[in-house]
Each structure stands twice: as structure tokens, then as C-alpha cells.
């Protein structure tokens, strides 16, 4: 634990179109090799495709997808008296959202498809409906936490 206290949360500039922090977090995770403009292009193409496909507001689909994928609980390895236990811990909201974004992007990168915008839009639509690889990852994390509930007292 740090003796100085907690670090202040930095606020980033939000993007021009959606003006949302979730969008910034997502674009920063899409970005590879510092190519942020390319990451924004991919994101905006994906949002346009979601808008056309679902006939709903693309930002609400994004929020719903992230909300459905965000885990409530996860396991963390703790070393107790020589053996390592998987201890279930509750997750803070920002950490849960970061995990959800990571899982969504990982699942969309694994998908077969034409380009990243196509794959990302498909994964977001699936996640908002409650299916897809990212949802499966969340359920797997919850199952692991449930299975290791006996070690909850090691928190």
C-alpha cells in the first residue's frame, strides 16, 4: 500500500463525435503502435455499421454491450501458507469496465471476418444481445469465482 495516498484520476479529452469516456477507453485499447487516428477510423466505421444494422443509437448499443460484459466478481491468485489459492474478489466499476473492453476487443480480434470494424461491430451487437465470446468469458469468470467460493475468507 502506498504511503502517499491514492493517485488522482486523469481525465482525457473526449472524442469529437460522441463526447464519451467509454469511447476514449475503447479507442485507446484498439490502438496499436500509437496509431490513434486509425483506431478512431475503425471505431467510427464499427459504430456506423451498428447504426445501420440495428436501427438503434450506436452509443446505446455500445453501453449495453459493455454493461452486459462487465464482471461483478473475479478470482485473484493469493499465496497462503505455501499454496496458491484462487480467491474470489469483487471488482471496482472502473476495473470491471476495463476488463469488459479488453474481453470485447479480444473476442472481436479472434472473429473471422473482413476487417476490424466489421468484427468489432458484430461482437458489440452480439454482446448487447447477450451472446458472443465476450459474454462467455464473463460467465466463465463468474463460474470460477463460484467454484472457489470456499476460499473467500482469504481476502
Confidence of residue 46 (pLDDT cuts 50, 70, 90): very high
Stretch 41-64: mean pLDDT: 93
Choice between 72 and 10, residue whose per-residue pLDDT is larger: 72
pLDDT tens figures, 90-148: 888 889 999 999 999 999 999 998 899 999 999 999 999 999 899 999 999 888 888 88
pLDDT at 69: 93
Task: Give the Cα separation of 77 and 61 in Å (integer).
Answer: 34
Domains and CATH numbers, the chain: 21-154 (1.10.455.10)
Phi first, then psi, for residue 131 (nearest 5°) are -130, 180
| % the chain with pLDDT above 90 | 54
pLDDT tens figures, 78-92: 788 888 878 888 888
Choice between 144 and 49, residue whose per-residue pLDDT is larger: 49
Q: What is the mean pLDDT of the chain?
A: 88
Angle in degrees, 0-180, between the axes of helices 93-110 and 21-30, rounded to the nearest 10: 40
Task: Give the Cα separation of 130 and 64 in Å (integer).
Answer: 9
pLDDT at 1: 58
Task: Give the Cα separation of 85 and 150 in Å (integer).
Answer: 10
Amino acid at each position: 500500500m502506498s504511503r502517499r495516498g491514492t493517485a488522482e484520476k486523469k481525465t482525457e479529452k473526449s472524442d469529437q463525435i460522441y463526447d464519451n469516456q467509454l469511447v476514449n477507453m475503447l479507442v485507446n485499447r484498439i490502438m496499436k503502435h500509437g496509431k490513434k487516428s486509425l483506431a478512431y477510423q475503425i471505431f467510427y466505421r464499427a459504430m456506423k455499421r451498428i447504426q445501420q444494422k440495428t436501427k438503434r443509437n450506436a452509443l446505446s448499443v455500445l453501453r449495453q454491450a459493455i454493461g452486459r460484459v462487465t464482471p461483478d466478481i473475479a478470482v485473484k491468485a493469493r499465496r497462503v501458507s505455501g499454496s496458491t489459492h484462487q480467491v474470489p474478489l469483487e471488482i471496482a466499476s472502473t476495473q470491471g469496465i476495463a476488463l469488459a473492453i479488453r474481453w470485447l476487443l479480444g473476442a472481436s480480434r479472434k472473429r473471422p471476418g473482413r476487417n476490424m470494424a466489421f468484427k468489432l461491430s458484430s461482437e458489440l451487437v452480439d454482446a448487447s444481445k447477450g451472446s458472443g465470446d465476450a459474454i462467455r468469458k464473463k460467465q466463465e469468470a463468474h463460474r470460477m469465482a463460484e467454484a472457489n467460493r470456499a476460499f473467500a475468507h482469504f481476502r
